[in-house]
Homo-oligomer: A and B are copies of this chain.
Amino acid sequence: MYTEYLDLETDNGRRVLVWPVPYEGTVSFGSGTENGPAAILRASAEIETWNEATGLDLADYAHFRTLSPFHPPVAGPQAVYEAMREKLRQDPAFDPARDFLLTLGGEHSVALAPIAAYAEAYPDLVVLQIDAHADLRESFEGSPYSHACVMARVRELGLPLAQIGIRSLSRDESTTIHASGAHELLTLFAHDLPGPEEAAKRLREFVADRPLYLSFDADGLDPSVLPGTGTPEPGGLQLQWLNRFWTALGPALRLVGMDFCELAPQPAAGVVSESTAVQAINAVLLRTFAPTA
């Protein structure tokens, strides 16, 4: 019975458009990402917007307008991509050059349409991917639009890509990463993750002053704080690392849009995963919209 992100009654600060995209294609291992958007909306009402560590309140810097959920076609992930692309093009409420869109997946393949929309508005867009998986396969299980291929498609759009938290990939994906130029691909693997300040420094150098889009796959986080994903991988990012990372990135970064994907809520196991998801999203938004001391 919660249909809005946060239950603010203000219109302070920047407007954030929230787009629920409850799409899950052919189910494989742990499933349930089609329930991700509803769980995030529900949990958002329970999370305090006040941030004691910074003395800032997200409610002072952003307000939210939740769009109608996207009803995906069943004809496969390419059809979903095309329908999302069309929807974003036709929706008078959304202008990528103006609006901050928070897309709530659904599987990670739903990130492609908003990235393509922003890339049209910002030809020099850089994408930052938080993920356990590289998602750089050419094709997977018969489709180049599988969630396991989404960043291969992003790179085909000509966009530089930074990846953080990667710890599960094929030998081919590893070869691709190591063969890529330092200006097109930056991968910070989980197994030798630098400190958050060093990571921030490397990302700032990679992005420079270009606009940034954040594609946040829930499984980038450690399963101890977010167990509810389809393919959990131990050894992931901690919220504390991310919070220090966002702080270290500082206000110079220009985040223009983001998605949060692959949350597969487990209602019989409580609400830890969706709570963590909202904490992770709100931390990004606070750092993006609040002036840093």
Contacts and interface: CB of A to CB of B under 8 A. Distances in A.
B77 A232 contact: no
A56 to B, nearest CB: 10
A126 B74 CA distance: 28
Interface in A171-215: 171, 174, 189, 191-192
A220 interface: no
Interface in A246-282: 264, 266-272, 275-276, 279
Contacts of A234: 225, 239, 275-276, 279
Interface residues of A, number: 81
B76 A171 contact: no
A36 B15 CA distance: 32
A165 interface: no
Nearest to A192: B53
B27 A34 contact: yes
Contacts of A225: 223-224, 234
A235 B240 contact: yes
A91 B29 CA distance: 27
Contacts of A160: none
5 shortest A-B CB distances, which residue pairs? A76-B76, A73-B142, A269-B269, A268-B268, A224-B224
Given A26-B72, A26-B80, A227-B270, 10 more contacts: A24-B27, A47-B168, A52-B174, A53-B191, A75-B77, A83-B142, A225-B234, A233-B275, A234-B275, A267-B268
27 contacts: A1-B20, A1-B38, A26-B73, A27-B31, A29-B271, A47-B168, A50-B169, A50-B171, A52-B166, A52-B167, A52-B189, A73-B143, A74-B142, A79-B142, A79-B143, A225-B234, A227-B227, A228-B270, A231-B275, A232-B272, A234-B239, A234-B276, A235-B239, A235-B240, A266-B268, A267-B268, A269-B270
Interface of A: 1, 3, 20, 22-32, 34, 37-38, 42-43, 45-48, 50, 52-53, 55, 57, 69, 71-80, 83, 140-143, 145-146, 166-171, 174, 189, 191-192, 223-225, 227-235, 239-240, 264, 266-272, 275-276, 279
